[in-house]
Amino acid sequence: MIKSEKTRKNTIKTNNGTMRTPVTFYGPGLDNSLDGRDGLGEKLYRAYAEVYNPSNKDRQVLTAKGVHRAVTVRIRDPLSSYQPENKQLAKIDDLRYSDIDWQVVDFHPDFQDRQFLVILLGGDQ
């Protein structure tokens, strides 16, 4: 075993105990309010996630897209049952984030541990 792989095995922290925040992903939809802005559409996928602050690499992506408020969400890879897209919205079921509709900014599989999908969410674009 390569030394870097051994080190990575010892530092894997994501497990069922850390993935305890419910996140629901919605397709784009229309709001029936007077201002007519986009609202939440149909529910596409719901999962438990690990929610944390974006890394420096993620912040570079956010800066390029003009996003000021963001979180990183790590979920188990749903494979073919759900594939995120940039037009989709997410709701994080946590009191600190309850009033924010998050938009999917970027997503990629976790290349260190292939059973997870990392999704970058932006709150104000």
Q: What is the pLDDT of residues 58-88, one digit of tens each?
A: 899 888 888 989 999 999 999 889 999 998 9
Q: What integer pLDDT is reported at residue 114 of this predicted model?
A: 84
pLDDT at 9 over 60: no
Q: What integer pLDDT is reported at residue 19 of this predicted model?
A: 84
Strand, coil or helix: 62: helix
Q: What integer pLDDT is reported at residue 74 of this predicted model?
A: 94
Q: Which residue has the tokens 């986009």?
A: 38
Q: What integer pLDDT is reported at residue 43 of this predicted model?
A: 93
Cα angle value 75/102/43 (rounded, 5°): 70
Q: Where in the chain are the domains?
A: 13-122
Q: What integer pLDDT is reported at residue 40 of this predicted model?
A: 73
pLDDT classification of 15: cutoffs 50, 70, 90 = low
What burial class does residue 6 get, using C-beta atoms within 10 Å of its C-beta: 0-12 exposed, 13-18 middle, 19+ buried? exposed
> Mean pLDDT score of the chain, rounded to an integer?
83
* pLDDT tens track for 97-118: 888 899 999 999 988 888 999 9
99 versus 5: the higher-pLDDT residue is 99
Q: What integer pLDDT is reported at residue 121 of this predicted model?
A: 95
The sign of the torsion formed by the CA atoms of 47, 103, 61, 70 equals negative
Is 13-122 assigned to CATH 3.40.50.280? Answer: no
Cα angle value 66/90/72 (rounded, 5°): 60
